[in-house]
Amino acid sequence: MRISVLGAGAWGSALALRLAEHAPVTLWTRSAEHAQDIERDRENRRYLPGFALPPGLAASADLQLAVTHADLLICAVPSNAFRSLALALRDTGIAVPLIWLCKGMETGSRKLPHAVLAEAWPEHPPAAVLSGPSFAQEVAAGLPAALTVASRDTEFARRMARELHDPKLRLYASHDVIGVELGGAVKNVIAIAAGISDGLGFGSNARAALVTRGLAELTRLGLKLGGRPETFMGLSGMGDLILTCTGDLSRNRQLGLRLAAGASLADALQQLGHVAEGATTALEMAELAREAGIDMPITAAVAQIMTQQTPPREAVAALLARDLKDEGN
């Protein structure tokens, strides 16, 4: 099977590197200069330095070529770039099955990627979301990981799980697209809160409480929107949440740490040098929760910090001052 990974950021590059050990892979980037650099260096020094690319991986800035020479497309662009990519894929006139890796919501529309795809390309080919606890650097290094691939076409999800399976990259099939997407989106927001808590020196107990109550927020919203409870207890829910809130390789946790240290949002994002999806998702998720009548206080607090309405320390203090209630509420 020939695979084209569309998006040459850290995660797309890491997955392309892993898959290229068993199949021919094209790594597409919008920038011709970036593609030339990758081919010359045999390494993505911009987003995934230190990892040599295998011979089976080629870089290109030609989308038509990448689609034409593929049996499967893996879309590894940020959530806010997914619509334009879907439109471009539609306009190629070539219907190749696709998987997206986005972990967020589209700014303005508050739509998850599957809804964006349905609008941009109504007659799209079989499609699925791939998500779960996966730091790019560890996947690129060949360390073990497990992910969930979800599609409303259950057989397609199962086939992708079989065909993309690797001894060090285990895939589980699911049909809960909404649940898997929400897990990937909400965990980034909670990870910013965890980074802020750690940066303010509140300790491990506070971080554990944030992760646990963050999972409760995800589950409340997810069930309201049609997700399944087992998804939120699985890899793309609890698994990804734990990793992103505790691991030092987490961009969103690093964003929280920088904000707690006094950096402005703009400076913190510039220091990261990568997209931290939680920064934009927090605002959309907080508004979605409000519209749905779902209580998501951690998400709301992060949204207030992102809009600079509330300083990090005051936001945490407000969370601690909330009225007491039973844990199940």
pLDDT in tens, 79-97: 999 999 999 999 999 999 9
Neighbours of 272 (CB within 10 A): 15
- Between helix 79-92 and helix 113-120 the angle, nearest 10°, is 30
pTM of the prediction? 0.94
pLDDT score recorded for residue 46? 95
User: How close are the terminal C-alpha atoms of the chain, in Å?
Assistant: 48
The residues, ordered by sequence, that sit 6+ positions from 68 with a Cβ below 8 Å of its Cβ are: 92, 94
Neighbours of 299 (CB within 10 A): 30
What number is the average pLDDT over the span 154-171? 95
pLDDT score recorded for residue 75? 98
- At 230-248, the pLDDT tens digits run 999 999 999 999 999 999 9
Say if residue 167's pLDDT is above 70.
yes
What number is the average pLDDT over the span 251-259? 95
pLDDT tier, 324 (very low <50, low <70, confident <90, very high otherwise): low
What number is the average pLDDT over the span 295-307? 94
- At 27-56, the pLDDT tens digits run 999 999 999 999 999 999 999 999 999 999
pLDDT score recorded for residue 100? 98
Distance of CA 240 to the CA centre of its chain: 9
**Domains with residue ranges and CATH for the chain:** 3-175 (3.40.50.720), 185-320 (1.10.1040.10)
Residues annotated as catalytic are 187
Average pLDDT, the chain: 94
The residues, ordered by sequence, that sit 6+ positions from 139 with a Cβ below 8 Å of its Cβ are: 11, 14, 15, 17, 18, 145, 169
Report H helices in 58-120. 63-68, 79-92, 113-120
- How much of the chain exceeds pLDDT 70, in percent? 99
DSSP state of 30: S
